[in-house]
Amino acid sequence: MDAQLTAFLARAEQLMARIEAALPHGLQQPDWGASIAFRYRRRSSGQGVIAPVAHIGAISLDDLKEIDPQKEKIQRNTEQFVRGLPANNVLLTGSRGTGKSSLIRACLHAYAGQGLRLIEVDKAELVDLSDIVDLVSQRPEKFIVFCDDLSFDEGEPGYKALKSVLDGSVAAATPNVLVYATSNRRHLLPEYMAENLTYTHTADGEVHPGEVVEEKISLSERFGLWVSFYPFNQEEYLQIVAQWLSALGVDAPRIAEARPEALVWALERGSRSGRVAWQFARDYAGRHAPKP
């Protein structure tokens, strides 16, 4: 009988071990020395993991042209943050391909030596944002939680989680964490013509938005710093092309010759963005590289 009981207990312990292994556990500290940038991902088991990014695109602040006012604001805010001074969460909005994400990566490279680190979190995983903040709150580094191309549809759970972390939670703000988000939408949510009907007007002309509009504005207002990006004109686009061609080793005469091709490339793509300029520069520099 004792042998049967022992065998039963052994099988029960094995079963409990398998069940425990299958259950989601608390977020674990990664090797913070493995990289300066990390990604938060959920595995199929539901377990969240912060993993180091092995290959980070090399870009410097000097590489980014024609966005000097935006660059000054972001760089100033980031420098205040790494120095332990008051700084704001940042929302970067505007046209695609104008350097929003590149500017954040450039700041990461510029201030990594002063302890700046970046954790990229997808929109679908923002529901775990408070757990990520709790995990890093006692670390000596400064962390930017980076949400790229952020926008929400009605009712998505990450919306309220982000609002809570930015401002309004019972927990105090964590001084070593800021949120930097990029978006093509100023208020991060879809806006409809019918919502204009919810506005009210007083006798003296004062405008009061309705509750639906107030709710949509409330998230973007929790970002203390708004930085807007705009489409480039033709000359600005060509200046960016020249910068990238020079960075790729193309000499000045070749850069001058490339201008007509760069304009045709932009026309075919229907955009004069910094991303299009970079793509053209790679194509042109590759086609005109010296033969081995």
Question: Which residues, in sequence order, are bridge partners of residue 143?
Answer: 117, 177
Question: Which residues, in sequence order, are bridge partners of residue 39?
Answer: 51, 120
Q: Residue 139 above 60 pLDDT?
A: yes
Nearest Cα to Cα of residue 81 among 4, 189, 176, 2: 176
The larger pLDDT score, comparing residue 21 to residue 75, is at 75
Dist CA 86 CA 77 (whole Å) = 9
Dist CA 30 CA 34 (whole Å) = 8
- Give per-residue pLDDT as tens, 163-191: 777 764 444 468 899 999 898 766 555 55
Segment 125-150 mean pLDDT: 89
Q: Residue 22 above 90 pLDDT?
A: no
Tell me the pTM.
Answer: 0.76
Dist CA 227 CA 90 (whole Å) = 7
Dist CA 165 CA 119 (whole Å) = 15
User: What is the rounded average pLDDT for all residues in the chain?
Assistant: 81
DSSP state of 249: T
Dist CA 213 CA 191 (whole Å) = 8
Locate the DSSP E strands across 26-69. 37-42, 48-52
Burial class (CB in 10 A: 0-12, 13-18, 19+), 223: buried
Question: Which residues, in sequence order, are bridge partners of residue 179?
Answer: 145
Q: For position 42, what pLDDT does the model report?
A: 82
Do residues 179 and 147 touch, judged by C-beta distance below 8 A?
yes
Q: For position 121, what pLDDT does the model report?
A: 92
Q: Residue 26 above 90 pLDDT?
A: no
- What is residue 147's three-state secondary structure? strand
- Sequential DSSP letters for 69-96: HHHHHHHHHHHHHHTT-----EEEEEST
